[in-house]
Amino acid sequence: MASLKNPDNQNNSNNPASVAWITRLDRPITDQAAGAGPLAGLRFAIKDNIDLAGVPTTAACPGFAYTPTQHAHVVARLLAAGATALGKTNLDQFACGLNGTRSPYGPVPNSFDARFVSGGSSSGSAYLVATGEADFALGTDTAGSGRVPAGLNNLVGIKPSKGLLSARGVVPAAQSVDCVSILARTIGTALAVLHAAQGFDAADPFSRALALEQSPFPTRFRFGVPDTLAFFGDGAAAQAFDDAIARLVAMGGIRVTVDYAPLAEVAGLLYDSALVSERYAAVRAFFDDHEAEVIEPVRTILASGRKYSAADLVDAQIRLRTLAQRAAPMWDGIDLLLVPTAPTHYTIEAMQADPVVLNRNLGAYTNFVNLLDYAAISVPSSIRADGLPFGITLIGRCGADLQLADLGQRYHHASGLTLGATGQPLPMPVAVFTEAPPTPATVRVAVVGAHLSGMPLNFQLTERGATLAASTRTAPAYRLYALAGTVPPKPGMVRVNGAEGTAVEVEIWEMPIAQYGSFVALIPWPLGIGTLTLADGSAVQGFVCESMALAGAEDISHHGGWRNYMASRASSAINSGER
């Protein structure tokens, strides 16, 4: 059996690597039968709430420690894939915290500046990967414990869809939302670990056999940005997030503002409702007999779970489902959600002086994700002017793990950053999808009237998977008419000669070509599809009108477009007293 090195509770804070370990193995553990597996040659560290057979699991609470006889399911899979285990890492006690200072083994410092927190609760895992002591590490993530330390240390942090990786052999924090997370310096490494570690485990009550999306996001993807953003006075973080938005737009993204209120309310339920009782239940047998051995503020947080009744928990769960229903329509307008991984950095000294409020601030954009069953990945974004890293998190629906990794890898390489705190350059990107899926053939179609966004027939586009590509104008070669007797009201646009023409507002929609025929079949006479010339001189398929249908039609070209005309009609109706 491997010999052990157990730092005591007075870890030398002058040796950050020592503080990052709880148990460092003198002889790393390998699976001799693994041979040249897909992870051969990779060394990994294990958060010390995850079992490694023969090595104590402490959850950063010495009185709680036990020595398992079996590996956690995920550890066994990684060893079988050829990876080598180096030891067990420091964490916020019982994985209760996002800052890395709540441990009797000492606060883990940031890998870029030791005055600052590493983020937690997977603090030691992040430090050791960022500094190059391990190639990757396992963490856990219930409320952001794998993402926040990744974001604060210039790392990739994959928070998989719930149940994709088994949590058997993991000390629970809140078992129904716990995820084993992966920290690595590149998405390529993190993905290799994900593929080796995933798999249904019938012995884990929350394991699921998930079918992941196998196609990347569209070339013109839509990313949501919260309508309210808090950086707690950190201007450098606010600027870094603005830069991240600009980079995603340059990569083909379309920014969409989303209502953050239901997500923020979900985040608040984690500690301010009966849902916190799940944290107490996870360690109840130990906690009730050894409460004094749990450090503050973890002790107070766990103890708060005692005061709730079963009825309180049911009420909280119903409130969570209600908020989930409110949040769900957000996905109709976006492919993914973009948030700061952490909105600011704090020094260890500041965190220890105000451990609850500042910790809560670090989780401003993480706490809701697992409760709503989303997938997420934290990706390095920039190094701020003060030398501290800034990370973003890409969030998708359950099963979007590979889509997020694909976009995240492209984003990471666009950042120009080096690896963790090592200064080493990024390697070449890897193929995320085993087979590049065929790009669906599409056709661009210009709409001018009742099919515009928000108009009555727009659903005929969206139900066929069409997406808005641009809002623009035609060349000044058309006249626009309000056709008589159409329901709903429709315009007719005709091409004219010379100076008689004007530019008309249009929207360009991108539609799968397989859906195009059924769409055209819905178009009634006198309308049809022809070739339009846009203001930039390019040509596109779009709505045109038979000139013989213009008898009795009103020339509305001076309005510049159908939307302005309909607004003028509504205004006239109000002014004339119509109801």
For the annotated catalytic residues, the residue numbers are 47, 121, 145
How many Cα atoms sit within 13 Å of 165 on the Cβ side?
31
For residues 396 and 300, is the Cβ–Cβ distance under 8 A? no
SS3 534: strand
| Pairwise CA distance, residues 491 & 544, whole Å | 9
| Pairwise CA distance, residues 549 & 551, whole Å | 6
For residues 103 and 117, is the Cβ–Cβ distance under 8 A? no
- The residue count of the chain comes to 579
Of 363, 358, 356, 366, nearest to 301 by C-alpha is 356
For residues 455 and 493, is the Cβ–Cβ distance under 8 A? no
CA separation (Å) from 124 to 26, 128, 148, 219? 18, 6, 12, 37
Q: Which amino acid is at 252?
A: G
Q: How many helices (H) and strands (E) does the chain have?
A: 18, 22
How many Cα atoms sit within 13 Å of 460 on the Cβ side?
17
| Pairwise CA distance, residues 93 & 286, whole Å | 13
For residues 512 and 464, is the Cβ–Cβ distance under 8 A? yes
Q: Is the dihedral of CA 58, 59, 62, 63 positive or negative?
A: negative
Tokens of 147: 């993402």
